[in-house]
Structure 1
């Protein structure tokens, strides 16, 4: 297996941390990004920097200059980039109406615009070498927009939309786009959930005020009975890297709890998506 140059975002914890370590252990050159490596993430950055094959970069994904500087650093050192893993993300919970336009903008800035910013920078190099892989970490909520996760789900729907179209657009050029759809996992992200800023609407939702507790109880029970392991996401990233070019699936579900539901939905959409492309004369892209 040839050694690849890999950029992974959101490596200070959770899926990103595990993925950076797992991919580096295989001998790939990993550039691990996180914010504020001299401040709140100093310990995490220092720990990763001690790992063979990992270079830590201080990157604010919502800052165009910061992201471009990171990509320029990688290209100056390596000459290209082979794999991009858009893992970083933020979540939001609560009644959708409580989200202000600024809240929605913040969610999309991190979950949609930031991955696109990186894809735009990486794609010229991948196209030039007729080979590359972009893995976008989405969510089961990128398939089902659940109550109380509406804004988060909307951002993941958008990321999936970008990924789905690009998958077929870029495959003839030798570049693969793949989505990983995690289910509920006990990571630090689940402990940093944002809420909408407009608290004035809460009174209007008293009739369903108890429903979120049922959701949290169900997730807690999943964690106790199924015991989902975040390492599974890192292992799936490796699996996608190892698959031959052009044979990587668009969507991969990693969810030991409710994943079969998402898989069935994905398969149904995949079949009808093929019919859409055929209807509009693009059936050649399905090969």
Structure 2
């Protein structure tokens, strides 16, 4: 019997690439997005598709239950849906911070809660949470996004210990920069802020960093390979940093905080 995966955020980028990668492994893939027209190509490729807005609790429960009802199992949940709310924390309204956590943290939590009873019943399953280097090292101007990804990291660590006795694995995938439209949406979130005028160097820095990040970005397909590795492994690692930027970025958390702070101050001096 084919294994079954449910993947969120499949309209483009990492989610779409992951759906295709798991399909190539001869899994049954339920690819989800807020608008199913955005994943019509995945349906043509052989995926099953479903509408899912991860901020809607009923949709989260229903898509999991319907997957299990149709296929009798759910072997892997890939929590990929997310976006980056950039900006200095003073400039970010609390409603925008809440929206960031609603998608990046509460959404995965809703799906995990829906999936776990089915996985516990079978005493088997894998949950893959897509985090980021930004979930291990914080950067000025990324506090909201950092907070959401730090939360996913901590929740995953706790969850791994809670469900191991039921034969369920939890893995975190940590990409660095990825060549997707993710940065474009992040830039849009910047543009929508009511700027205080106190942090122009941070805005300039991110304007420059967008071009720099593109040079070191990996493809969505490379991240999808790592997600697939975690999904198919009988004993997945707790964490999977992706490519050189991911590995080096994650290692930066071991540097003294004052060194990191000094590095950020140095970088911001050149933002004009």
Query: Residue 103 of structure 1 contacts residue 196 of structure 1 at CA under 8 Å; is this kept in 2?
Result: no
What is the aligned length? 253
- Give 1:264 deviation, angstroms: 6.6
Query: Residue 133 of structure 2 contacts residue 249 of structure 2 at CA under 8 Å; is this kept in 1?
Result: no
Which position in structure 2 is the counterpart of 1:27? 26
TM value normalised by structure 1: 0.82
Which position in structure 2 is the counterpart of 1:17? 16
Q: CA offsets per residue over residues 100-152 of structure 1, 9 Å max, x none?
A: 11000000000000000000010011111111100000000000111111101
More deviation, 167-176/253-262: 253-262
Query: Residue 100 of structure 1 contacts residue 196 of structure 1 at CA under 8 Å; is this kept in 2?
Result: no
Which position in structure 1 is the counterpart of 2:135? 142
Query: Residue 140 of structure 2 contacts residue 202 of structure 2 at CA under 8 Å; is this kept in 1?
Result: no
Secondary structure of the 2:198 match is helix
TM value normalised by structure 2: 0.86
Query: Residue 93 of structure 1 contacts residue 196 of structure 1 at CA under 8 Å; is this kept in 2?
Result: no
Distance 1:207 1:79 in 2: 54
Distance 2:198 2:131 in 1: 31
Secondary structure of the 1:108 match is helix
Which position in structure 1 is the counterpart of 2:210? 216
Secondary structure of the 1:204 match is coil
Which position in structure 2 is the counterpart of 1:229? 219
Distance 2:246 2:130 in 1: 17
Distance 2:65 2:241 in 1: 33
Q: 1:70 aligns with which of 32, 52, 63?
A: 63
Distance 2:211 2:34 in 1: 32
Q: CA offsets per residue over residues 209-267 of structure 1, 9 Å max, x none?
A: 543344334313424xxxx22211111122112322xx32111100333522414748x
More deviation, 16-25/59-68: 59-68
- Structure 2: stretches of 5+ with no match in the other structure: 255-272
Which position in structure 2 is the counterpart of 1:199? 194
Write out the 4+ residue segments of structure 1 that deviate beyond 3 Å after TM superposition: 206-210, 263-266
- Give 1:45 deviation, angstroms: 2.3
Distance 2:212 2:246 in 1: 11
Query: Residue 99 of structure 1 contacts residue 196 of structure 1 at CA under 8 Å; is this kept in 2?
Result: no
Which position in structure 2 is the counterpart of 1:51? 45
Which position in structure 2 is the counterpart of 1:278? none
Secondary structure of the 1:50 match is helix
Query: Residue 85 of structure 1 contacts residue 136 of structure 1 at CA under 8 Å; is this kept in 2?
Result: yes
Distance 1:104 1:185 in 2: 23
Q: 1:148 to 1:264 in 2, by over 3 A?
A: closer
Q: Is 2:229 aligned against 1:239?
A: yes
- Give 1:198 deviation, angstroms: 4.8
Distance 1:158 1:196 in 2: 25
More deviation, 143-152/133-142: 143-152
Query: Residue 176 of structure 2 contacts residue 242 of structure 2 at CA under 8 Å; is this kept in 1?
Result: yes
Distance 1:222 1:10 in 2: 23
Taking only aligned residues, the RMSD between alpha carbons, in angstroms, comes to 2.0
Distance 1:234 1:209 in 2: 31
